Structure 1
Amino acid sequence: MKQLLLFAFILFTSFNSFAQINPEDSTVQVIGYWDLNEKQTYEVTREKYRVKDADTTRRELVKYEVDITIIDSTATSYTIEWLYRHVSPATDNSFERKLEGITNNRRVVIKTDEMGTIEEVVNWQEIRDEIKETTKVLRKEFKHIPNINLAIAKAEGMFSTKEAIEAMAIKDIQQFYTFHGAKYALGEEVKGQLPIYNNLGGEPFSADVTILLDEINEEDNNFVIWVWQTIDPEQLTEATYAFLKENTPNTGTTIPSKSEFPAMQNETTTAARIHGSGWVLYSRETKEITADGTLAFEERTIEIK
C-alpha cells in the first residue's frame, strides 16, 4: 500500500507541519505525531466466508489484540512494535486453532518515515525463524491429517522472506497505515492506477484506485477517509488460471479449459477514522472476490480500546 501513499502525496504536494486538519482549505495531512514509548491497544476482528447460491459456507472468525508501541523516534523515522496476543479463532478444529495461533505473542517491529509511511519490517528474520520452529511442531503433532504439509507450507510461505512478510503477513499493519504520509482535500476524489502485489506469483497486478476524504470533525480532531481498489479482472483471471493449471495436477483436481474458465473480480474497500495525532481510531477493510456466482468475502476491523 506504500505506492498508494506516494501516489496521493504527489497529487497533494503542499505540507502543513503544524496541524493535521486545516479548516481554511478543508484538507487533512495524515502524519504520525507520536512520542517515544507511547502505546495504544487495539482489538482486531477478521471474518471470512463464502457464498454460493445464497448459501454461506466456510465461515472463519478470528479475534486478537495488539499493543502498538513507539520504541524509537528520530527526526526522520519511527520504529514501532506490534505485539500480538490473545489470538482467538472461533473454530472447534484443533489444527486450525493452532495454525491461526502461530502469531500469538509474536512481535513485529516495523520502521516508518517521519510521517508514518511503512518502510520495512525490521525483525523479519526473527519472525521467519520463530514461525519455522512453530510449524515444525505442528507437522509432528498433526502428521495424521491428509495434505497437512501442503497447508503448513502455505502458511510458512507467508513468512519465508522479507518480501513475503511485507507483502502477505502484515495485512493489518498495512491497513492501519494505509493513509499515512499524504494530504487529502475534503470531498475531492483522487483517481489513479497502482501496481498490486501478486500473491500467485508473476508480475504485479494493475489496480484502479479511488481515494476520498469523506468527513472532517474539527471539534473531535478526527477525520474519515475511504479508498476503493479494483484489480484488473483480465490480469487476475489469467494469473489464477495459470496458477491452478500448474499446481492442481498432483491433487487430482481438474480445471476447465481456458476458454471456459470463469472471469474473476477482486474489489477492496478500506475506510478509517483517524485522530489528529495520527492514531487510527477505527478502520475497516472489506475484500470481495467473485467468480462463477461464488463470493469470497473477507472483512478486517481494527478498533482502539
Structure 2
Amino acid sequence: MMRRVQILLLTILLSVNAFSQINMADSTAQVIGYWDMNEKQTYIITQEKFKINETDTTSREFYKYEVDMTIVDSTANSYVIDWFYHDYDIHSDKELIQKLSSLTEDMTVRIRTDEFGAFQEVINWKEVRDYILKATKMLKKETKGIPNMDKFIQQFEGMYSTKQSIELGAVNEMQQYYTFHGGKYELGEEYKADMQAANLYGGNPFDMKVTVWLDELNPDDNNFIIRMQKSIDSEQLTNATFDYLVNMAETMKTAVPKREDIPPLINDTWTASRIHGSGWIIYSVETKEVTAEGTTNVEERIIEIK
C-alpha cells in the first residue's frame, strides 16, 4: 500500500514539474508546449482597425471569429496542430472588406511547430491556397463590373498564393500566438536584437529592432506575462510604400505620386501574452501603429481562450 502511495506521489510531482515552466529560484520562465494528442482549445479572436487623425477616430473596422486548435500529431521533435476557423462576425463600412474577411470561414490550416511549440511551417498550404481561390472565384462573379475590384481580389489572393506568402502575411494570428515559444526569459532582463521583418510589398525584408522582456511571474496561478516591442526601419518602409503606390497607380491608370509627397512612416508593434505553464496562451494582445503626419493607423488583435 505504502509503495503504491509513493508511486502516486511521484507521478503527481513529475506531472506538476512537467507543466511548470516558472523557476522562482532564478526568476525565470520558459515557454514550452506540453500538449497531448487530440488535446483541443478554442479561442476567440477579435481584430479592430481604426484611424486616428489628431483627436478624431475614423474608419473603424471590427472582426471577430473563433479558432479550434487541435493537436493532431506529437513526436519527440514536433507537434502538428490544426487551426479551424469559424463563426465570423464582421463589421465594416466597406462591403468588399466584409466579403474578403469572411472567405476563411470553415477553413482548416495545419501547421507544424518544433518540440518547444515554436512555429515552423504551414503544412497544408496548397489546400489553403485552393480553398481561397475557390472562394475568390465566386466573389469575382458577384463583384463583376465594379471598377478595379478584381485588382483588390487579386491582391488578396496573392497573400495565399505561395507557402511563404501564407506564412509571412496570411496567418499573423499564428505568428502572434507562438511568438514567445521556445525561449527562456528572466524577470527584469531586456533582450534586444536586430532582426528582419517580411516585406509584404514583395521587396527585400525590412530591418527591425526587437525588445523582449518577462514582465510578470505568477507561480500560484502557473502563468506569466511576456512583452515585446518591434520597430521597423522608417526609411525602408517609406521607400517600399512609395514603390507600391507607384505600381498601383500605373496599374489603375491614375496619377503617379511624387516621392516628396510621401511622409516618413513609423511602424511600431507591441505584443503581450499571458501564458499558462502548459504552453497554452490564456490571453494575448498585439497592437500595431503606423504613423505619418499626425495620422495613426491602428490594428489591434486579441486572442483569448474561450
**TM-score, normalised with respect to structure 1:** 0.91
Would you say 1:225 and 2:226 are equivalent positions?
yes
- Number of the residue aligned with 1:70: 71
The AA in structure 2 aligned to 1:111 is R
Between 181-190 and 95-104, the greater mean CA deviation after superposition: 95-104
- Number of the residue aligned with 1:249: 250
- Number of the residue aligned with 2:130: 129
For the residues of structure 1 that align with 2:199 and 2:94, how far apart are their CA atoms?
A: 30
Shift of the 241–95 alpha-carbon distance from structure 1 to 2, 3 Å rule, reads: closer
For the residues of structure 2 that align with 1:94 and 1:287, how far apart are their CA atoms?
A: 24
Secondary structure in 1 matching 2:245 = helix
Secondary structure in 2 matching 1:102 = coil
TM alignment of 1:169-180, pairs within 5 A: 169-180=170-181
- Number of the residue aligned with 1:199: 200
- Measured after TM superposition, the shift of residue 208 of structure 1 is 0.7
For the residues of structure 2 that align with 1:53 and 1:239, how far apart are their CA atoms?
A: 25
For the residues of structure 2 that align with 1:51 and 1:103, how far apart are their CA atoms?
A: 28
For the residues of structure 2 that align with 1:111 and 1:21, how far apart are their CA atoms?
A: 25
The AA in structure 2 aligned to 1:116 is G
Are the counterparts in 1 of residues 29 and 186 from structure 2 also a CA contact under 8 Å? yes
Are the counterparts in 1 of residues 79 and 113 from structure 2 also a CA contact under 8 Å? yes
- Measured after TM superposition, the shift of residue 257 of structure 1 is 2.9
Shift of the 104–235 alpha-carbon distance from structure 1 to 2, 3 Å rule, reads: same
Shift of the 95–202 alpha-carbon distance from structure 1 to 2, 3 Å rule, reads: closer
**TM-score, normalised with respect to structure 2:** 0.91
TM alignment of 1:58-207, pairs within 5 A: 58-91=59-92, 94-207=95-208
- Measured after TM superposition, the shift of residue 93 of structure 1 is 5.1
- Measured after TM superposition, the shift of residue 90 of structure 1 is 1.3
Secondary structure in 2 matching 1:271 = strand
For the residues of structure 2 that align with 1:247 and 1:299, how far apart are their CA atoms?
A: 26
For the residues of structure 1 that align with 2:209 and 2:121, how far apart are their CA atoms?
A: 25
- Number of the residue aligned with 1:40: 41
The AA in structure 2 aligned to 1:157 is G
- Number of the residue aligned with 1:235: 236
Shift of the 135–262 alpha-carbon distance from structure 1 to 2, 3 Å rule, reads: same
For the residues of structure 2 that align with 1:242 and 1:202, how far apart are their CA atoms?
A: 10
- Number of the residue aligned with 1:287: 288
**Which string of whole-angstrom CA distances, capped at 9 and with x for unpartnered residues, describes residues 110-132 of structure 1?**
00000001111000000001110
- Measured after TM superposition, the shift of residue 226 of structure 1 is 0.3
- Measured after TM superposition, the shift of residue 189 of structure 1 is 0.6
- Measured after TM superposition, the shift of residue 244 of structure 1 is 1.5
- Number of the residue aligned with 2:31: 30
- Measured after TM superposition, the shift of residue 247 of structure 1 is 2.4
Secondary structure in 1 matching 2:42 = strand
Are the counterparts in 1 of residues 18 and 34 from structure 2 also a CA contact under 8 Å? no
**Which string of whole-angstrom CA distances, capped at 9 and with x for unpartnered residues, describes residues 1-50 of structure 1?**
xxxxxxxxxxxxxxx97741111101011000000000000000000011
Secondary structure in 2 matching 1:152 = helix
- Measured after TM superposition, the shift of residue 245 of structure 1 is 1.9
Unaligned runs of 5+ in 2: 1-16
**Which string of whole-angstrom CA distances, capped at 9 and with x for unpartnered residues, describes residues 281-302 of structure 1?**
0000000001122211100000
- Measured after TM superposition, the shift of residue 197 of structure 1 is 0.4
- Number of the residue aligned with 1:261: 262
Secondary structure in 2 matching 1:86 = strand
Shift of the 118–256 alpha-carbon distance from structure 1 to 2, 3 Å rule, reads: same
For the residues of structure 2 that align with 1:231 and 1:97, how far apart are their CA atoms?
A: 29
Secondary structure in 1 matching 2:102 = helix
For the residues of structure 2 that align with 1:86 and 1:265, how far apart are their CA atoms?
A: 34
Between 42-51 and 255-264, the greater mean CA deviation after superposition: 255-264
Between 96-105 and 72-81, the greater mean CA deviation after superposition: 96-105
- Measured after TM superposition, the shift of residue 254 of structure 1 is 3.6
**Which string of whole-angstrom CA distances, capped at 9 and with x for unpartnered residues, describes residues 214-239 of structure 1?**
00000000000000000011111111
- Measured after TM superposition, the shift of residue 92 of structure 1 is 6.0
Count of matched residue pairs: 290
**Which string of whole-angstrom CA distances, capped at 9 and with x for unpartnered residues, describes residues 256-280 of structure 1?**
5324431110000000000000000
Are the counterparts in 1 of residues 61 and 93 from structure 2 also a CA contact under 8 Å? no
Q: Whose radius of gyration is greater, 1 or 2? A: 2
For the residues of structure 1 that align with 2:105 and 2:144, how far apart are their CA atoms?
A: 22
For the residues of structure 2 that align with 1:263 and 1:53, how far apart are their CA atoms?
A: 17
For the residues of structure 2 that align with 1:85 and 1:141, how far apart are their CA atoms?
A: 22
